[in-house]
């Protein structure tokens, strides 16, 4: 079962995390997992053409492998955030190891923003990150572009429910390439038709 909207229970468990943006006339486009040689250049070209700024939650190891792409993301006016060093699942990783991964990634990324891979994090990890003044960012709308069984037409149909203030998640990785390249431009056009602007987190 695909849950496009973040469950209220999770918002209750992690109340100080960012789930939506403050501006109800804007949406907040985000991309997880990059940078990647296969997809980042296309994403940046598409955003530049549409005059849209986004927030990229990057995996430290990918930044280490592709520093030029990471630099390009920032030079083109986008914001970056931490997505751990190796895309660890918080529910399957010991708290100390998880925090070490976040720290290692931040040595490459240098951002106060953090998004847990898979959206999975334990309460202990959450509170430890809060103590470090790290701002945890979730989302209010998930595209499922990484799912090979999710057709791009379904993404575009579900995008009709996007409202002002929503934080949107797409993915910057090869698994998402086909669905993303077939849907992102039309989703941006749809949101422009709704007279919504785009902001970074």
Q: Does residue 154 contact residue 179 with C-beta atoms inside 8 Å?
A: no
The distance from CA 121 to its chain's CA centroid, rounded to whole angstroms, is 15
2 in any annotated domain: no
Spatial distance between the Cα atoms of 15 and 71, rounded to a whole number of angstroms: 32
pLDDT of residue 10: 75
8 in any annotated domain: no
C-alpha to C-alpha distances, 100 to 35, 57, 71, 121, 148, nearest whole angstrom: 21, 17, 24, 14, 32
112 in any annotated domain: yes
The Cβ of residue 77 has, within 10 Å, a number of other Cβ atoms equal to: 12
The residue from 33, 83, 171, 172 that is catalytic is: 171
The residue from 32, 33, 145, 172 that is catalytic is: 32
pLDDT of residue 95: 97
171 is catalytic: yes
Q: Does residue 144 contact residue 171 with C-beta atoms inside 8 Å?
A: no
pLDDT of residue 8: 66
The string of DSSP letters for 11-49 reads HHHSTTSB-B-S-TTEEEEEEES---TTTHHHHHHHHHH
Mean pLDDT by 10 residues, the chain (201 residues): 63 89 97 97 98 98 98 98 98 97 98 97 96 96 92 94 97 96 98 98 97
pLDDT of residue 149: 86
pLDDT of residue 185: 98
Asked if the peptide bond before residue 35 counts as cis, ω within 30 degrees of 0, the response is yes
Structural domain count, the chain: 1
pLDDT of residue 13: 83
Full residue range of the structural domain in which residue 134 is found: 31-195
Burial class (CB in 10 A: 0-12, 13-18, 19+), 136: buried
151 in any annotated domain: yes
- pTM score over 0.85: yes
48 in any annotated domain: yes
pLDDT of residue 4: 58
CATH number at residue 50: 3.20.20.370
> Residue 201: which residues within 8 A CB-CB, separation 6 or more?
18, 21, 28, 30, 55, 79, 81, 113, 137, 167
């Amino acid at each position: 079962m695909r849950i496009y909207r973040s469950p209220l229970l999770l918002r209750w468990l992690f109340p100080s995390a960012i789930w939506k943006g403050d501006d109800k006339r804007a949406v907040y486009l985000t991309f997880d997992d990059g940078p990647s040689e296969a997809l980042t250049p296309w994403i940046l070209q598409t955003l530049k053409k549409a005059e849209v700024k986004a927030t990229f939650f990057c995996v430290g190891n990918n930044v280490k492998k592709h520093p030029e792409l990471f630099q390009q993301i920032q030079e083109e006016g986008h914001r970056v955030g931490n997505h751990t060093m190796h895309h660890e699942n918080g529910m399957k990783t010991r708290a100390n190891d998880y925090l070490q991964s976040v720290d290692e990634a931040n040595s490459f990324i240098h951002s106060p923003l953090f998004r847990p891979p898979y959206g999975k994090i334990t309460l202990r990890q959450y509170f430890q990150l809060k103590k470090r003044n790290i701002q945890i960012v979730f989302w209010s709308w998930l595209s499922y572009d990484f799912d090979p069984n999710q057709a791009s037409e379904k993404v575009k149909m579900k995008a009709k429910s996007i409202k002002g203030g929503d934080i949107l998640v797409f993915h910057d990785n090869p698994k998402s390439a086909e669905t993303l390249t077939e849907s992102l431009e039309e989703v941006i056009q749809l949101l422009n038709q709704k007279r919504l602007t785009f902001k970074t987190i």
